[in-house]
Chains A and B, each alone.
Chain A
Amino acid sequence: MTRLSNAFAKIHPALVAFITAGDGDTASNLDALVAGGADVIELGMPFTDPMADGPAIQAANIRSLGNGTTTADVLAIATAFRERHPDVPLVLMGYANPMIRRGPEWFADACEKAGVDGVICVDLAPEEDEDLGPALRLKGIAPIRLSTPTTDEKRLPTVLDGSAGFLYYVSVAGITGKQAAAIESIEANVSRIKSHTDLPVAVGFGVREPEQAEAIAKVADGVVVGSAFIDLVEKHGDDAPQHLRELTSRLAEAVHNAR
């Protein structure tokens, strides 16, 4: 968790980079994201039914599961990442069922041993927090929640209560990788959220280009990019690392120098 707060305490906004575990050579791909300047790594846990994801990340989930990726494999990827990169924050992102299959305590314990700093569980509403939240908090792992354009003023405190690490603002009402939101709407929503919390706010969904990332970084603490990386993994296979590193560098430069 300290790694996460350090990442957001830097003088510049943070680039948060997502790829799906088990899709391609994940270790090399993660190293490329770090080398390119990503400040926080989100590692997707593949699931058969990724309801909130668009075509790119759905396909990455299917490819990963097709490769035989297990929960043990995802945790091994995280463990090895932590050994190679002791200071880079690592967040697992996925859906509730694979996370709670063996019980929340088992998962929280496994995350702690793997050096995971936070967990984003897309379909675990704050109302169902007890299924995972208490176990994570006990191990010092941040339950990172999502806020969306439909999360109104009245509901925001419910979302923030028990959130840690950072708040992930989903900029569009929709699925990952599709359209991007207007910057005016993002700015208004981020400042609304910030009036309720001291947590850093990272903005994602539909962010692909350095220009977009830069505009968002002017008004938020972090920018999340996922589908654009996933597309490179799909397109380039074993040659993906050099392309990931190149895109990450451009995005990081844009985000880090935005303000």
Chain B
Amino acid sequence: MTENAPNSFRNQPDDRGHFGQFGGRYVAETLMPLILDLEKEYRKAQADESFKAEFDDLLEHYVGRPSPLYFAPRLTEELGGAQIWFKRDELNHTGAHKINNCIGQILLAMRMGKTRIIAETGAGQHGVATATVCARFGLPCVVYMGAEDVRRQSPNVFRMKLLGAEIVPVTAGRGTLKDAMNEALRDWVANVHDTFYIIGTAAGPHPYPELVRDFQSVIGKEARAQMLDRTGKLPDLAVACIGGGSNAIGLFHPFLDDPEVKLLGVEAAGKGLDGDEHAASLAGGFPGVLHGNKTYLLQDEDGQITEGHSISAGLDYPGIGPEHAWLKETGRVEYTSSTDEEALEAFQLLCRTEGIIPALEPSHAIAAVAKRAPQMDKDQAILMNLCGRGDKDIFTVAEALGVEI
């Protein structure tokens, strides 16, 4: 922790949407009035009890919250150190934490009188969650997805279609998640009058990083109360994987002012941090501006954005939410990374010891837990957010393990 640590880590961003030097509103002028409107409407919603009541009701009865807190006895025993607890957000409707945020944003969209929803997606989890809430509320939904991802993630593409969404394969640029986000922004610029952009992670122009964090904070709020209830104390360490960082900020934020709780974010180190094939923006990137915010980015010396790589499509993004960039610089959260190989091992470890098939994204966090737990005492506790289930990943894992299915 730096010497001049703030009194609270929970009162960011400032009124201009800055988390320290990060965050902000870096968008084309066409979008600025809408972004300012969104902020105004979000402030009103925050003060509106009926908005909160509807959000909570949907989370309980539609998403299935609160998600369980699960003690993992065999994994704990196998690792031989700290007790390991999982926040089971993979049991949510649609199989990941993404839905929490989509519920919040579609309620905002309707408050603002918007009649059309757009979203970007990489592996398809956020696209599926967005298509789901659009079906639930009867709004048309357009999902931008890199052409290559459309090919690789055909089950999710079909899911979105079943849910009534239109999928637009993006061939612009290199046809990846960041290009899908560029294309969604282009759609939004041209349709600001009736369209709401449901951003999938805690990034983008202010107020997105703040509102996505707030909607995802249900994870940490529940987990904090559940840990107190079940163990009588707070965890010694809380761990989450990070692509854009929405599940991690959702877990961490309610713990930021509990100094006894160490926080560990786990980026995707891909094939290793020493090469170019990773997606660890904090470990291997530099501050810059992309997609509406200032944050750590994978980029070259001229500020051109470079492609991330991870076996997990959900972590494969060259940026990270601005609050994480700030939390790194303040020292409140420690950030580390796991490679593709480590994540694959951790994936199998959880299948074998606990009968849970995790998504490849939280498998990166499990790998970090597997390193930390043995170094800790048996009376200490680790809380990890199991943010997604692995059904979607079995083909990728089979291929990586050289198995034909």
A47–B290 CA distance with the chains assembled, in angstroms: 11
Which residue of B30, B34, B173 is within 8 Å of A48 (Cβ)? B173
Q: Provide the A40-81 mask, 1 if CB < 8 A to any CB of B, else 0.
A: 000000011111101100100010010000110000000000
Q: Provide the B272-291 mask, 1 if CB < 8 A to any CB of A, else 0.
A: 00000000000000001111
* Chain B residues in 8 Å Cβ range of A27: none
- Verify B186–A51 contact, CB threshold 8 A: yes
* Chain B residues in 8 Å Cβ range of A62: 173
A127–B13 CA distance with the chains assembled, in angstroms: 15
Total residue contacts A-B, CB cutoff 8 A: 115
Interface of B is mostly: mixed
- Verify A146–B28 contact, CB threshold 8 A: yes
Known: A52-B189, A148-B30, A173-B192. A97 touches B173 (CB 8 A): no
A46–B39 CA distance with the chains assembled, in angstroms: 32
A55–B182 CA distance with the chains assembled, in angstroms: 12
Q: Which of B307-359 contact A (CB under 8 A)?
A: none
- Verify B303–A71 contact, CB threshold 8 A: yes
- Verify A123–B289 contact, CB threshold 8 A: yes
Total number of B residues with any Cβ neighbor in A under 8 Å: 37
B304 to chain A, nearest CB (A): 5
* Chain A residues in 8 Å Cβ range of B193: 173
* Chain A residues in 8 Å Cβ range of B189: 52, 173-175
Q: Which of A30-38, A109-117, A150-158, A234-242 interfaces with chain B?
A: A150-158
Q: Provide the B176-192 mask, 1 if CB < 8 A to any CB of A, else 0.
A: 00110010011001101
Q: Provide the A117-153 mask, 1 if CB < 8 A to any CB of B, else 0.
A: 0000011110110010000000000000111111110
B246 to chain A, nearest CB (A): 21
- Residue B379 at the chain A interface, CB threshold 8 Å: no
- Residue A3 at the chain B interface, CB threshold 8 Å: no
Which residue of A49, A122, A127, A173 is within 8 Å of B305 (Cβ)? A49
- Residue B26 at the chain A interface, CB threshold 8 Å: yes
A71–B24 CA distance with the chains assembled, in angstroms: 25
Known: A96-B289, A100-B303, A127-B16. A170 touches B30 (CB 8 A): yes
A180–B116 CA distance with the chains assembled, in angstroms: 23
- Verify B30–A150 contact, CB threshold 8 A: yes
25 contacting pairs across A/B (C-beta < 8 A): A47-B303, A49-B178, A49-B182, A52-B185, A62-B173, A71-B303, A95-B289, A97-B297, A97-B299, A100-B288, A123-B26, A123-B27, A124-B26, A125-B29, A127-B24, A127-B32, A128-B25, A128-B26, A147-B29, A150-B31, A150-B32, A151-B29, A173-B190, A173-B192, A175-B190
Interface positions of B (Cβ within 8 A of A): 16, 24-34, 36, 172-173, 178-179, 182, 185-186, 189-190, 192-193, 288-292, 294, 297, 299, 301-305
Interface positions of A (Cβ within 8 A of B): 47-52, 54-55, 58, 62, 65, 70-71, 95-101, 122-125, 127-128, 131, 145-152, 155, 159, 170, 172-175, 178
